Homo-oligomer: A and B are copies of this chain.
Amino acid sequence: MYRNFKIVPNIVFGRGSFNQLGDILKAQRCDQDSFMVFVLDDVFKGKSLEGRVPLETGDMLLAVNVDDEPKTSYIDQLVTEVKAFHGRIPAGVIGIGGGATMDIAKAISLMLTNPGSSADYQGWDLIKNPAVYHAAVPTLAGTGAEVSRTTVLTGPEKKLGINSDYTVYDQVLLDPELLAGVPKNQWFYTGMDCYIHDVESLNGTYLNEFSRAYGEKSIELCREVFLDDHPDKDDKLMMASYFGGMSIAYSQVGACHALSYGLSFVLGTHHGIGCCITFDYLEEVYPQGVREFREMMARHDIPLPRNLTAGLDEKALDIMANVALGLTPLWENCFGKDWKSIMTKERVVELYRRM
Q: Which residues does A use to contact B, with CB under 8 Å?
A: 1-14, 17, 20, 24, 171, 174, 176, 208-210, 213, 216-217, 221, 232, 235-236, 238-239, 243, 250
Closest residue of chain B to A211 (Cβ to Cβ) is: B13
Do B12 and A3 have beta carbons less than 8 Å apart?
Answer: yes
Q: Give min CB distance, A94 to chain B, whole Å.
A: 14
Given known A209-B236, A210-B239, contact A10–B5 (CB-CB < 8 A): yes
Residue with the highest number of chain B CB atoms closer than 10 Å, among A6, A7, A9, A174: A9
Do B3 and A208 have beta carbons less than 8 Å apart?
Answer: no
Closest residue of chain B to A17 (Cβ to Cβ) is: B2
User: Once the chains are docked, how many angstroms separate the CA of A213 from the CA of B176?
Assistant: 15
Given pairs A1-B20, A2-B13, A4-B12, 18 additional interface contacts (CB within 8 A): A2-B14, A4-B20, A5-B10, A5-B13, A6-B9, A7-B9, A7-B11, A9-B9, A11-B210, A13-B210, A13-B250, A209-B235, A209-B236, A209-B239, A210-B239, A213-B221, A213-B239, A217-B217
User: Once the chains are docked, how many angstroms separate the CA of A24 from the CA of B4?
Assistant: 8
User: Once the chains are docked, how many angstroms separate the CA of A17 from the CA of B174?
Assistant: 32
Given known A5-B11, A7-B9, contact A232–B209 (CB-CB < 8 A): yes
- A12 partner, pick from B5, B236, B239, beta carbons under 8 A: B5
Question: Could you pull out 19 A-B pairs where Cβ atoms are within 8 angstroms?
Answer: A2-B12, A2-B13, A2-B14, A2-B17, A3-B12, A4-B20, A5-B10, A5-B13, A7-B10, A7-B11, A8-B9, A13-B209, A13-B210, A174-B210, A209-B232, A209-B236, A213-B217, A213-B221, A213-B243
User: Once the chains are docked, how many angstroms separate the CA of A210 from the CA of B298?
Assistant: 29
Residue with the highest number of chain B CB atoms closer than 10 Å, among A11, A171, A208, A213: A213
